[in-house]
Amino acid sequence: MEQINEMAENLKLLGDKTRLTMMALLKDRALCVCDIVELLETSQPNASQHLRKLKAAGLVNETRKGQWIYYSLNVEDKPYIQAIMGYLPSLKEKIDQIKNDCD
């Protein structure tokens, strides 16, 4: 039952368009919060709130590089999330267009 509860919670989290888009963005590479803010055209506090929820669920990792925090996927141990990720469209072209002001 615990595994079903965890799956239900994670799937509920991904039921949010913003969080699902964040996961799609992170499919290609780790991104800084400022990159995610630019790509989603949202505020930094809003992006951070969604990322906090994804991190709390263990779906993303965060790594500090200087003053910036980079987020990456953490779904190796969640095959059902990997399956969903396989259906998400690639946003690589959109990612390649960002200015990378963070670096």
pTM of the model: 0.91
- Confidence band of 42 (pLDDT split at 50, 70, 90): very high
Q: What average pLDDT does the segment 78-92 reach?
A: 95
How far is Cα 93 from Cα 57, in angstroms, rounded to an integer? 28
Residue ranges of the domains in the chain?
Answer: 2-87
Say which residue, 103 or 49, is predicted with more confidence: 49
> For all residues of the chain together, what is the average pLDDT?
93
- Reference 55, options 42, 43, 72; nearest CA is 72
List the CATH code of the domain at 2-87.
1.10.10.10
Beta carbons of 22 and 40 less than 8 angstroms apart: yes
Does 94 score more than 70 pLDDT? yes
- Confidence band of 21 (pLDDT split at 50, 70, 90): very high
| Nearest 10 degrees: Cα torsion 48, 54, 59, 64 | 20
